[in-house]
């Protein structure tokens, strides 16, 4: 049997958990798909799906084998792609967060080109959670992820940190003060990267906001700053100078973004990219090494406790 092809069928059925839908996605009829899954189960000697209930569910062995199947299929695809590229040099596929400043991305590409001229860099804008999937599937070789992120099998480069400030519309009354406290933002709406894309960062930021007295009436999702420009929301980010917007540091540096490279298979190109990323992010994005987190002091005021 063509094991790789059968694994592709397995992956699609596992994603759809519905034979009919999977067959449509694969452009084939349902009976042959069911047959091929059955053959794969015979070949492997385990049941991959539980079809007893009305819905299709992955069995425990199925769940375990799915990750491996994705890796095998990903590597086969990569093999084909490398072969297609022939002698035209290697390509390093890189995932970067869509909200990474354009100047930083440009500096990153330039720095890598300088250190590894023989490797072509193919950057794609991908949020952290999608980078983790893309790394597992082999569709990217190395990513630039936001922490906290947990994924078995990933190796992380040096973690760099950056205290975030707040972006406000120019006309916002808070734009007239030097520093803004998170509690000052009470009553405002907040713009954050999409929940699906940056779950760890979002949870961390919202918990800190709540701890400090800022519970946004609404959390908008997106990477563009249009809502901030319109005065409908505020956003957290590094110092930015954009017409119509004001950036102010946050008092006490309560929100710190932590970024690092991440990869699954270490290659010389991945190592070079990782080193170039650390260098560039420090130089052109103002990030620093992760130090000890400052301990937050909570003041005692009698009236707040009586």
Q: Which residues would be at the binding site for other proteins (CB under 8 A)?
A: 183, 186-187, 207, 209-215, 298-306
Given the DSSP bridges, would you call strands 160-163 and 256-263 parallel, antiparallel or unpaired? antiparallel
193 closest CA partner among 288, 281, 126: 126
Phi, psi for 151 (deg, rounded to 5): -160, 125
Phi, psi for 87 (deg, rounded to 5): -90, 15
Cα distances (Å, whole numbers) of residue 148 to 38, 129, 161, 234, 254: 40, 11, 12, 22, 16
Q: How far is the CB of 206 from other proteins (least distance, A)?
A: 9
Q: How far is the CB of 128 from other proteins (least distance, A)?
A: 23
In terms of CB distance, is 222 or 252 closer to other proteins? 252
In terms of CB distance, is 190 or 278 closer to other proteins? 190
In terms of CB distance, is 45 or 303 closer to other proteins? 303
Given the DSSP bridges, would you call strands 190-192 and 234-237 parallel, antiparallel or unpaired? parallel
Q: How far is the CB of 294 from other proteins (least distance, A)?
A: 15
User: What tokens appear for 305 in the block?
Assistant: 């406790």
User: What tokens appear for 227 in the block?
Assistant: 């809502």
Q: How far is the CB of 250 from other proteins (least distance, A)?
A: 14
Q: How far is the CB of 197 from other proteins (least distance, A)?
A: 23
Residues of 114-148 as b/e, b for ≥16 C-beta within 10 angstroms? eebeebbbebeebbbbbbbebbbbbbbbbbbbbbe
In terms of CB distance, is 186 or 223 closer to other proteins? 186
User: What tokens appear for 92 in the block?
Assistant: 């390093």
185 vs 194: CA distance, rounded Å: 21
In terms of CB distance, is 291 or 302 closer to other proteins? 302
In terms of CB distance, is 49 or 214 closer to other proteins? 214
Q: How far is the CB of 26 from other proteins (least distance, A)?
A: 44
Q: How far is the CB of 27 from other proteins (least distance, A)?
A: 48
């Amino acid at each position: 049997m063509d094991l790789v092809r059968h694994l592709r069928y397995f992956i699609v059925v596992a994603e759809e958990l519905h034979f009919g839908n999977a067959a449509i996605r694969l452009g084939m009829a349902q009976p042959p798909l069911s047959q091929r899954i059955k053959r794969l189960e015979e070949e492997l000697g385990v049941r991959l799906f539980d079809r007893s209930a009305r819905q299709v569910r992955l069995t425990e062995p199925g769940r375990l084998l799915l990750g491996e199947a994705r890796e095998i299929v990903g590597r086969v695809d990569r093999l084909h792609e490398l072969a297609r590229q022939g002698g035209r040099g290697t390509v390093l596929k890189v995932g970067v967060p869509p909200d990474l400043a354009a100047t930083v991305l440009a500096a990153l590409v330039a720095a890598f080109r300088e250190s590894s001229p023989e490797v072509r860099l193919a950057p794609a804008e991908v949020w952290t959670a999608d980078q983790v999937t893309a790394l597992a599937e082999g569709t990217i070789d190395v990513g630039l992820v936001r922490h906290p992120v947990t994924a078995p099998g990933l190796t992380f480069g040096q973690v760099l940190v950056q205290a975030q400030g707040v972006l406000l519309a120019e006309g916002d009354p808070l734009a007239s003060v030097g520093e803004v406290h998170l509690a000052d933002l009470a009553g405002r709406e907040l713009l954050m990267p999409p929940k699906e894309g940056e779950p760890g960062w979002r949870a961390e930021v919202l918990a800190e906001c709540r701890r400090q007295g800022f519970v946004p009436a609404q959390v908008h999702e997106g990477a563009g700053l249009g809502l901030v420009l319109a005065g409908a929301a505020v956003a957290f980010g590094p110092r930015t100078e954009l017409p119509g917007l004001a950036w102010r540091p946050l008092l006490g540096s309560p929100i710190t973004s932590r970024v690092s490279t991440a990869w699954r298979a270490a290659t010389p190109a991945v190592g070079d990219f990782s080193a170039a990323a650390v260098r560039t992010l420090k130089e052109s994005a103002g990030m620093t090494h992760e130090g000890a987190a400052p301990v937050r002091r909570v003041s005692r005021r009698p009236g707040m406790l009586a």
